Structure 1
Amino acid sequence: MTPELWDRLTPFRDKAIARGIPAADVERWLTAAARPCATLTRDGGGDGPVVGRFGGPLLLPAGVPDPVHPFVASIDLAALPAGTTDLPLPPDGDLLLFAYPETADDYETMGSAVYVPVGSPVVERDRHAWNPFEIDDDAAMFEEFPHGPLRATAQVSLPYHHTVELLGGPGNRPLPEHPRAEELVAVWESTRQDIAPEGPLRIGGYADEEAIEADPVATAVSWAVKAAAAGRWDGPVSADVSDWVLLADWQAGMDVEGWESSTVHWVIQRDDLAARRFDRAFASVFWNP
């Protein structure tokens, strides 16, 4: 990360130490956990460069099938400031995100991602093709999706979670090597609005949602593994969370009336991201209606 981003964490350091957390624990947490990310806000919500938009025309290469989830946003990867994230994203082209912001009835992806390389011939698609039966409730939900330009701000991200799930049974345990994790996360919750104000869409960083103890990425990975085992998603799928990264987070509840608290997490295996296999992204949704 840049020195500027490290400096932004000074209020976190100061408050954590003031609460009695040893400085060595604070620095170990920051060194191991701090990640750069891009927070995207609608036009008027920041002064960063325009890097994409919510909604708009759906432009896809002719060979790409109509996505089965609603169109959320497009991101011009060339417009993202260099070093904004630590993800191995392509230097250019468009990343399109799709999602239905409701929890799945079974283990299945609730969204997808499409990468359109720069210069690819594209054709405009029907933005409503995902709703072939014209279900009124679905159409009304989609009408609430946000529209407009997105501006990017380079920010720093720390974990919102402080436990990991126990293997082979219910329950959680503290993050390994970080016995003060719960206290550190509480400090982050109390300082993040001054350090890294949230926006409706984030690229990279850590996943967040309304009620959180364990990493939402770990939950998404477990769903992906079960979806693959059930034949609902193509493998291969690693069950090791370290093989995955958060591609994007959408706080859908900030925008979609009736879906308050809904959050979409797009995750992808590191190898798939490096190979630009964005069709291998898996989306999970947290929603507490």
Structure 2
Amino acid sequence: MDDGQAGERQMRALRETARRHLADEDARRWYALVRPVIRLVGEEEAGAGAGEPAAARLGGLPLLPRGAHWPAGPPGGVPPVHLASLDCAALPAGWLDVALPADGTLLFFAPGAEGAGGPADGPLVYVPAGTPCRAVGAPPGVAVLPAVRLFARRDASAPFPDHSCVREAFALDTWADPYDHPVHGQGFVDELGERVHRVEHRVGGYPVNAGAAGDGAVSGPGRVMLAQFTCGRPVPGAQGGAQAGGDGGGGVLVWTVRREDLARKSFGEAVLLRHRW
């Protein structure tokens, strides 16, 4: 089965999950919220062939345009860590429902200390294709994470019942007890969790957490989730180099962007949201 078929199979599986647990109208209403997503997986899971290009790279030094400098942190703060680079041209074309650039590179920087969240807290830099670039060394005291290649795989994502888009679609705010609604049924939630509640790196779709980070990612006016990266520790790069994707406790970093900014390839107002597990 190729990657495209795997993505379609996951879409069908989510539709069947809804049909098993919800009445027909509720199933259709919930399934309308399902969105395509691209998972970013390591070489072992990807089974990548020798000729398959990596879609992203965790860690390493960023390739910045000649003359550009490492992004600054918040006023008076420490410069951010280079968390990941995303090669837009290596993503499956036409799969996502958000208009990422067809080519070029997105560089994700994460704070090395706690911050409130905002454009300065997790800078996102877009480098157009063909731009002369060079590897830029990290500022003193900023960790360089180990470089790990990631490969793109089509998949599907769905919101959990406590997500604002589900509450709106089913008018749950008008219920005396919204948890009595069938979308909160234990069987449906359990099966949904097995299929989509994965702590992973992903582009588009919904973030792994449907509460704290999930609502902020899509409930703002015209905002969508751009990408999610998971970290072995809540603050990547802190204390001399926590590894992204490592074992043990950690967190999820979610970047959101307005659709109109995405269409203009403008990422200066992208916002970083964080959720710990």
The two structures have a TM-score, normalised by structure 1, of: 0.71
Q: 1:86 — aligned with what?
A: 97
The 1:122/1:3 distance shift into structure 2, 3 A limit, reads closer
Contact 1:37-1:205 at 8 Å conserved across structures: yes
Q: 2:191 — aligned with what?
A: 190
Q: 2:106 — aligned with what?
A: 95
Residue pairs, 1:133-212, within 5 angstroms: 134=141, 142=143, 145-160=145-160, 162-164=162-164, 175-178=167-170, 179=172, 180=181, 182-183=183-184, 187=188, 190-191=191-192, 193=194, 195=195, 198=198, 200-209=200-209, 212=210
Q: How far apart, in 1, do the equivalents of 2:5 and 2:211 lie?
A: 30
Residue pairs, 1:1-289, within 5 angstroms: 5-19=7-21, 21-31=22-32, 33-47=33-47, 49=52, 50-67=54-71, 68-100=79-111, 103-104=114-115, 106=116, 108-109=118-119, 110-127=121-138, 129=139, 132=140, 134=141, 142=143, 145-160=145-160, 162-164=162-164, 175-178=167-170, 179=172, 180=181, 182-183=183-184, 187=188, 190-191=191-192, 193=194, 195=195, 198=198, 200-209=200-209, 212-213=210-211, 216-219=213-216, 241-253=220-232, 255=244, 260-288=249-277
Q: 1:168 — aligned with what?
A: none
Q: Which runs of 5+ in 2 are unaligned?
A: 72-78, 173-180, 234-243
- Structure 1 runs of 4+ with >6 Å offset: none
**SS at 1:27 equivalent:** helix
Q: How far apart, in 2, do the equivalents of 1:279 and 1:71 lie?
A: 16
The 1:186/1:69 distance shift into structure 2, 3 A limit, reads farther
Residues 40-80 of structure 1, C-alpha deviations (whole Å, 9 max, x = no match): 01221213542121123321013433123111111211111
Q: Which runs of 5+ in 1 are unaligned?
A: 165-172, 222-239
**SS at 1:279 equivalent:** coil
Please tell me the residue identity of whatever aligns with 1:29.
W
Q: Between Structure 1 and Structure 2, how many residues are aligned? A: 243
Identical amino acids, percent of aligned pairs? 27
The two structures have a TM-score, normalised by structure 2, of: 0.74
Please tell me the residue identity of whatever aligns with 1:117.
P
Alignment RMSD (CA, Å): 3.2
Displacement of 1:174 = 6.5
